[in-house]
Amino acid sequence: MSFRRFWALFLCRNLEFLRDRSSLTWNLLFPLSLIAGFAFAFSGPGLDLYKVGVLGDPSDWNDSGFFKTRYIQFIPTADLPAALTKVQRHQLDMLFDPVGQRYWINDESPKGYVLERLLRGTERNSTLSKQTVSGRVIRYVDWVMPGVLAMNMMFSCLFGVGYVIVRYRKNGMLKRLKATPLTPLEFLSAQIASRLWLILASTVLVFVGTDWVIGFPMFGSYLDLFIVFAVGAISLISLGLVVAARATSEELAAGLLNVLSWPMTFLSGVWFSLEGVRPFLQKAAQLAPLTHIIDAARAIMLDGAGLMDISGHLLALTAMSIGFMAVGAWMFRWE
Amino acid sequence: MTALLEAHRLVKHFRGVKAVDDLDLAIPTGCCFGLLGPNGAGKTTTVEILEGIQEPTSGLIRYRGEPLGSRFRQDIGIMFQSTALQDYITGRENLRMFGSFYRRTLPLAELSDACALGEFIDRDTRKLSGGQRQRLLLAIALVNDPELLFLDEPTTGLDPQARRNFWELVHRIKARGKTLLLTTHYMEEAYHLCDEIAIMDHGRIIAQGTPRELLEEHFDDVVLELPQADFRDLPLPSWLTVMHCRDTVEILTRDVNAAIRELLARDISLARLQIRPRTLEDLFLELTGRELRA
């Protein structure tokens, strides 16, 4: 491994990316506009809809007036701690246990206050016991932002490495490099390093920019979040290498990359929680690096998790990176 | 002259097709060696095996008497017929990048002078003309001051002036004692540049020698060329071979005076008659029976 050769390739790849204004703009503007769009869509007055989690079997629900109230969405739930977390985060406005005759609201939630009045009004004869939780409101945009950042990273890593290497192969660039003393290890590591720092830099820029405009909660450590994105980017770049290892046409590469990226987008919980999704799909989602990146990033940002709390995700991402890199390097052909 | 690069009993199979068939080749040090052949003759496969890009099915290749290894990679320069370069990168940046791959490199200024890169060395490679691009690719092939330079159809697609300029560059490289392996579709190019030529067909070498030797060995006649319009289709004696080409008629003869007498006797106008010696193109057609760019 010659550092001189690695560095020369690394610099040229960086220059190619940075001078390609359309690509650079796309990498920065796409996630910015996406997050701004969500912030706009979900920060306004919105629908007058209250969300009430209801503990227990739905068949146990009585036909009281409260359940007949319009504009309230009743969501059955069995997991009390998870439901309480949602009340804390204002994802649920109230949690109601009709069997136990108790309810929880967030003292800082105006919707919780209104719902409590409604419940007390419709259930006058009941001896309801009030429990309170507290927690800052977590908007949808706060929840979706780590997913959008990770998704943007995924597209950039997969296409920025996988597609580019296939293009190099198709136009004869790799054949020319093969005729030099350059080794596949030097070539591949330069591609990985170049894409890694570029995607991390652009992710940091997007994060800072959107945080400045919209403002996100951050209960964990920025360094931990950076580590998650770095390890995640390595795993996604390595996955891109597997696709690029042999493919000789950009059409095939684009097809393969789409086959990988779109299911990951839908199954990794970028836009919605996987709760309620079929169990085998939830298990399948664990095979995707994007799921681990998003879950770990959300845990750090919204729950204040530390590295130990998300060590499972980091281990999974590291194992995937090693596996993908080994397969990619083993399969790699210059032509 | 000792052989710098030798191939012994090279064979290459592609899905049941024998692209290279038991081929032996020796390229002497300091020689410009031309490898010619029609499309599908196995020329590109042979060259790519010699370059170390492809593995032969069987056979041996030796560089300075040794199997190809890291020294070979350091010592060779290659100019493919078409090589894409990274987008948004200037000629200078490309030369720096390729230069970093080698232990020994030529100074950029020397490369720029040698290949007449001029002011376009700092231009984005996407914005270069065909001739400028070929000169840059030659400079990249020369960046490590190679002992052996492979030029694969280097002037294809260039206009005549750019092609002549390129020949000048190759002459300068030859003058520095470098060894070259050239493949080309242009017989005139091979005649001008090559010290030795091998003509390939069906994966084998069917003729080899200096251009002059090959022509003397195969031909002892000259060609009388007349426009089709001037040639009235009158019977000629059997010792004159008549070939009808697209716009011309070619008459092959060992005795020009006698041939002209026969034409005059048939009242054929000689106003536009041209007499030329046999060329490599004739030899190529005679040996392979195929058009050069079939």
Overall pTM > 0.80: no
d(CA B268, CA B274): 14
Q: Is residue B286 part of a domain?
A: no
d(CA A57, CA A265): 32
Same domain, B161 and B263: no
**A207 touches A290 (CB < 8 A):** no
Q: Is residue B200 part of a domain?
A: yes
Q: Which two tokens stand for residue A66?
A: 């409260």
Determine the residue type at A169.
Answer: R
* Confidence (pLDDT) at B293: 41
d(CA A297, CA A220): 9
Q: Is residue B282 part of a domain?
A: no
Same domain, B165 and B132: yes
Same domain, B51 and B174: yes
Write the CB contacts of A320 (distance below 8 Å, at least 6 apart in sequence).
A235, A238, A239, A289, A292
Same domain, B161 and B236: no
pLDDT bucket at B85, cuts 50 / 70 / 90: confident
* Confidence (pLDDT) at B234: 74
The tens digit of pLDDT for each residue in B124-150 reads 888 888 888 888 988 999 899 999 999
Asked if the Cβ–Cβ distance from B86 to A171 is below 8 Å, we say no
d(CA B96, CA A221): 41
Asked if the Cβ–Cβ distance from A8 to B97 is below 8 Å, we say yes
Same domain, B95 and B176: yes
Beta bridge partners of B241: B252
Per-residue pLDDT of chain A (335 residues; tens, 9 = 90+): 777 888 888 888 778 777 777 766 776 777 677 677 666 655 555 455 788 888 877 666 666 778 888 878 888 888 888 888 888 777 788 998 888 888 998 887 788 888 888 888 887 777 788 887 766 667 778 888 899 899 989 998 988 888 888 888 888 889 889 989 998 888 988 988 999 999 999 899 888 988 888 888 888 999 999 999 999 999 999 999 998 888 878 888 888 888 888 888 888 888 777 665 677 888 888 999 999 999 999 999 988 889 999 999 999 999 999 999 999 888 888 88
Same domain, B234 and B138: no
* Confidence (pLDDT) at B89: 87
Across the interface, of A20, A175, A335, the residue whose CB is closest to B87 is: A20
Q: Give yes or no for A19 touching B (CB within 8 A).
A: yes
Range of the domain at B267: 220-277
Asked if the Cβ–Cβ distance from A180 to B101 is below 8 Å, we say yes
Same domain, B91 and B123: yes
CA distances from A56 to A123, A181, A248 (A): 18, 68, 56
- Say which residue, B12 or A248, is predicted with more confidence: B12
Asked if the Cβ–Cβ distance from A181 to B88 is below 8 Å, we say no
Q: What mean pLDDT, rounded, does chain B reach? A: 86
Same domain, B177 and B258: no
Return the DSSP state at B69: -
For residue B208, give how far its alpha carbon lies from the nearest alpha carbon of chain A (Å): 27
Of B163, B190, B216, which one is at a domain's C-terminal end?
B216
Same domain, B271 and B210: no
Q: Is residue B170 part of a domain?
A: yes
Q: Residues of A with CB below 8 A from B51's CB?
A: 179
d(CA B125, CA B83): 11
Across the interface, of A12, A176, A178, the residue whose CB is closest to B93 is: A12
d(CA A20, CA B193): 41
Same domain, B36 and B148: yes
* Confidence (pLDDT) at B292: 46
Q: Is residue B26 part of a domain?
A: yes
Q: Residues of B with CB below 8 A from A8's CB?
A: 96-97, 100-101
Q: Is residue B42 part of a domain?
A: yes
Same domain, B161 and B252: no
Of B177, B201, B216, which one is at a domain's C-terminal end?
B216
Strands of B76-79's sheet in order across: B76-79, B148-152, B179-183, B32-36, B196-201, B204-209
Of B216, B246, B266, which one is at a domain's C-terminal end?
B216
Q: Indicate which CATH number applies to the domain containing B29.
A: 3.40.50.300
Q: Where are the beta strands (DSSP E) in chain B?
A: 3-14, 17-28, 32-36, 58-63, 66-67, 76-79, 148-152, 179-183, 196-201, 204-209, 222-227, 241-244, 248-253, 274-277
The tens digit of pLDDT for each residue in A180-204 reads 999 888 898 898 899 999 999 989 9
Q: Is residue B256 part of a domain?
A: yes
Same domain, B231 and B210: no
Q: Is residue B294 part of a domain?
A: no
Pairing of strands B196-201, B179-183: unpaired
Beta bridge partners of A133: A106
Q: Give yes or no for A333 touching B (CB within 8 A).
A: no
Q: Which residue is closest to A8 within chain B, CA to CA?
A: B97
Number of domains in chain B: 2
d(CA A228, CA A233): 8
d(CA B37, CA B203): 9
d(CA B169, CA B8): 31
Interface pTM (ipTM) of the complex? 0.78
CA A228 to chain centre: 11
The tens digit of pLDDT for each residue in B143-190 reads 999 999 999 888 877 778 778 888 888 888 888 889 999 998 788 888
CA distances from A60 to A57, A71, A97, A116 (A): 5, 21, 10, 21
Q: Which of B70, B82, B97, B181 to mutate to test the interface with A (most CBs of A within 10 A)?
A: B97
Across the interface, of B73, B80, B86, the residue whose CB is closest to A181 is: B73
Q: Which of A6, A7, A12, A167 to mutate to test the interface with B (most CBs of B within 10 A)?
A: A12
The tens digit of pLDDT for each residue in B90-133 reads 999 999 999 999 998 989 988 888 888 888 889 988 888 888 88
